[in-house]
Structure 1
Amino acid sequence: MAAAALALALGLALARAEQVPLLAWSSHSSLWPPPADSYEGHVVTEGQLRALLAPALERGPHNVLLFLQEKLSVEDFTAYGGVYGNKPDSAFPNLEGALGGAPSSLVLPAVAGGAAGALPRMLAQALGAAPLRVDGAALRQLRLNASLPALLLVRLPHTAGSSLMAPKEVLTSNDEIMGQVLSALKEEDVPYTALLTALRPSRVLRDAPGPAAAVGPGRQLLQREEAGGAAEVPPPLRWPPSGTPQILLWASNFTVAYEEEEQDLTARTFGAGASVDLGGSSWDPQEARLVMKYDGVFRETLTITLVLRQALFAVSGRRWGWLSEVGVALGGAPRGTFNGSGVAAPTPLGWRCGRLAAPGPLLVPRSPGDPAARWRLLLQGLQVQAFNVTGPAFGAASDCAGFFAPGVWMGLVTGALLLGGLGYGLHMLLGLRTMDRFDDPKGPSIAVPQSE
């Protein structure tokens, strides 16, 4: 009973950590029931989301517009939104106007992250149309037909997507993009249904301290925080699952993207609810293969293979292990391969990196025409160890962030240029010579012999 209660609590904590809001509105009326409080505090699953969107997809317009943000949370609206849409410094004037003037609208404060990530696939299946990525300028070039289904996808950056802009400025910019797209649809006079959601939640820093004020029905996205501490970090993925582990892998975020679709595999890879198949993995003293298979990803079986090798290097006099390649295959399609570059550490150590992306500086496609060009991988907080594993926990690790990072090089080069300019200036000052004769314009001219 205690173990079951612990697993249930862990599952609820993970569900709360992965929830994102979803807002939908349409130019047709009577697609959803009047707003109610029944959705507040409830995390909508993929099946429930499909049922809630079914009326709009069946009886509503065939032109569906999906605004997909990488990260978004309810706190974004509570921290930067206007009260009843009248607050002058609101970051969502266009969104509030669209929701307020729409004949039908649906507000879901909490949707499971997996359900939101599957939304492009869900809409494509319901409409029978592939997602078309557009922006405001491209939308004006399209000629939409009210009788033909169309799924338009607009990608928006998340609140921490720019180090030069504050979160509120990024949200305001996103709202302006939505306003441009909605204005283009209004000019075309084409009926549509629009949705706004995100792939993962974000953390928002409030402009002013203190709790947000409670407001009326215009603030349906407000949600009471539940008491409880942070969820316990799941153990790393290990192979073999039982006995002495030989390969350990951990990542705080594991995301894979294929063309225009993106899936978060973190919950399916790590923790009690993991559903990854490691049956094809293998290990020997020279090479370790971690084969991870996922069913139902992009409507096929997704296989991700990590190949780690070790060898003795005579120059350093020690053995080194490195991530040789990362393979990605979907169903029976050709396998894409990313070659590792610089992902190495002395064999007694593991390897970790704050952010490992493919394609990226450390993982590059094997060749220009390799199928890997259609894939994108992101592993944040990555740590992997395949040699000299002594137990279910990681040992010491070598970090991927070296001393001579780009920022360090910029500082060194800039400092060298400034120091060189200072040295040249001092050299010029020390080389100045004063004249021992002075010419008075009011007095007689000074005759200087040629010998001097």
Structure 2
Amino acid sequence: MAERSWRSVRVVAFICVFASYVASGGSSAQVPLLMWSSDGLPPLASAAAGHIASDDQLSSYLTSTFSAGSGSHTVLLFLQDKLSKEDFTVFGGVFGNKHDSAFQNLEAALRSSFSSVTLPALEWSGSSAILTLLQEKLQVSSLLVDADTLSDLSINTSVSNLLLISLPYCTSLHKSCKEVLHDNDEVVGKVLNIMTTKNVPYTAIYTGLKPSQRISTKPMFEQPMGRSLLQTVAPTVNPPIIFSVSGKPCIMLSAQNLNVSFTSPPQWTDLGLETPTLRESWCNSRTAGLVLDYASGPKLSFVMSRQFYSGSARYWFTLDSVQLTKNGQTVSFNGSRFITAPAEYSYHCQTVNSFDNPLLFPNTTKDASSQWMINLVQFQIQGFGLNNGTVFSYASDCAAFFTPGIWMGLLTTLIMLLILVYGLHMITQLTAMDRFDDPKGPTISVPQTE
């Protein structure tokens, strides 16, 4: 009973540290880190609220945890694409109902673990160093697994193992952030149950590859003061991708998100967060191809063509296809006839996807085509006539002039106008009788004819 009470105290202390850190605020980008073990962890000195742990402090603690004389270790690294303290305070059980928390399995693991360590704020300087640190301390390479493959995996406990479980983050597509975090929490619970069933002692770490919310580093006196009734936050705009030939820009592409998914239900990956190579791209006066080759494996290709149309007496360019390649398999999506613009213009569309009011259609009947999806947000491309150097030409937008709202307004106005015209017509057709009944005189008789 005393041990259970002590575990509850640790969980309450963890929640209080998070809440106090939220109250104190931070001045640099950071990610939280949770660590627990089925055997035991070295003690970690408690830090004051608002303290940001450095990479050196984390490295020193991992050295004491996985020292050379402590034997072999099996480490489970739950590495989420993005994670910040706000995810715990908003979607966890800190301020709301604990039964409605998106981290129920994670909180249960912290309560039931032999020992646990929490770092509410770990310094982040461009990329997460936790994976590299663990590989260095354990002297092993990481093995990417999921809950399905882990159940069939034979784990040799006589040597150290580093099992990497990659978890997605919400992308505002199909699922809310809370639903995505809840699904990740289910994966955490399933993996821990498998380790318990296999009777394998483990040390688990839950953290993020990068923060989900960047914290401003401006001093307080530089930030605007006062209240604002309508305050907006400008979305993050990635720099455009430019392919040049002999130092002259030839193809230009810009997108807020380059989301791709290879599974059903979809698990989205934003390729816009990575820097691709363009060595396979090409361009000439008639065709252009922008090939984005990413180090993580996927390859995204945009094929365009330029053609003269006598009807308009000008050249037009079209996005003929978008090709998605992974693990040697390629699915090509044909562009619809609406993805076109004058050759000297650029093409812009708020959303270009292959699933919801699609502008891209797979041209293959393979099974992969029904699972692979593309979603391009704030997409703009130009493959010809880049006379302005690194600046897009005038954009031809995919939105039609007569939007559904305009059509509804025109139709409503037309109906009201017809009713008004009909009423005026009825009024003008009213006529008065030539004779009227005189109550003091003889009545008007209308002869009837047979």
TM over 0.5: yes
1:397 aligns with one of 391, 395, 398: 395
C-alpha distance 254-170 of structure 1, shift in aligned 2 (>3 A): closer
Deviations along 1:415-445, one digit per CA (max 9) or x if unpaired, are: xxxxxxxxxxxxxxxxxxxxxxxxxxxxxxx
Report the equivalent of 1:341.
335
Report the equivalent of 1:158.
170
C-alpha distance 404-366 of structure 1, shift in aligned 2 (>3 A): farther
Report the equivalent of 1:134.
147
Verify: 1:186 aligned to 2:196, yes or no: yes
Q: Is the CA contact (8 Å cut-off) linking 1:308 and 1:323 kept in structure 2?
A: yes
- Report the CA distance between 1:303 and its aligned residue: 6.1
Q: Is the CA contact (8 Å cut-off) linking 1:334 and 1:371 kept in structure 2?
A: no
Q: Is the CA contact (8 Å cut-off) linking 1:28 and 1:104 kept in structure 2?
A: no
C-alpha distance 327-105 of structure 1, shift in aligned 2 (>3 A): same
Report the equivalent of 1:382.
379
The runs of 5 or more residues in structure 1 that have no matched partner are 1-14, 205-222, 270-275, 413-452
Amino acid across the alignment from 2:206:
L
SS state at 2:127 partner? helix
SS state at 1:77 partner? helix
SS state at 2:145 partner? strand
- Report the CA distance between 1:350 and its aligned residue: 1.9
Amino acid across the alignment from 2:35:
A
Amino acid across the alignment from 1:105:
V
Percent of aligned positions that are identical: 33
CA distance in 2, matches of 1:85, 1:377: 36
1:350 aligns with one of 346, 352, 359: 346
Verify: 1:115 aligned to 2:127, yes or no: yes
- Report the CA distance between 1:384 and its aligned residue: 0.9
C-alpha distance 248-152 of structure 1, shift in aligned 2 (>3 A): closer
C-alpha distance 31-307 of structure 1, shift in aligned 2 (>3 A): farther
Report the equivalent of 2:302.
306
Root-mean-square deviation (Å): 5.5
1:253 aligns with one of 250, 257, 265: 257
Report the equivalent of 1:196.
206
CA distance in 1, matches of 2:191, 2:289: 47
SS state at 1:153 partner? strand
SS state at 2:188 partner? helix
TM value normalised by structure 2: 0.56
C-alpha distance 147-397 of structure 1, shift in aligned 2 (>3 A): farther
Map 1:419-438; keep pairs closer than 5 Å.
none
Verify: 1:289 aligned to 2:277, yes or no: no
Report the equivalent of 1:103.
115
C-alpha distance 350-32 of structure 1, shift in aligned 2 (>3 A): farther
Map 1:131-280; keep pairs closer than 5 Å.
131-134=144-147, 146-147=157-158, 149=161, 151=163, 153=165, 155=167, 158=170, 160=172, 162=174, 167-168=177-178, 171-172=181-182, 174-198=184-208, 201-202=211-212, 227=219, 233=237, 235-240=239-244, 245-254=249-258, 266=272, 269=275, 277-278=277-278
Q: Is the CA contact (8 Å cut-off) linking 2:34 and 2:116 kept in structure 1?
A: no
C-alpha distance 67-353 of structure 1, shift in aligned 2 (>3 A): farther
The runs of 5 or more residues in structure 2 that have no matched partner are 1-26, 224-233, 409-450
Larger mean CA deviation between 363-372 and 175-184 belongs to 363-372
CA distance in 2, matches of 1:368, 1:52: 53
SS state at 1:394 partner? coil
SS state at 1:65 partner? strand
CA distance in 2, matches of 1:85, 1:231: 29
SS state at 1:246 partner? strand
CA distance in 2, matches of 1:31, 1:359: 50
- Report the CA distance between 1:234 and its aligned residue: 5.9
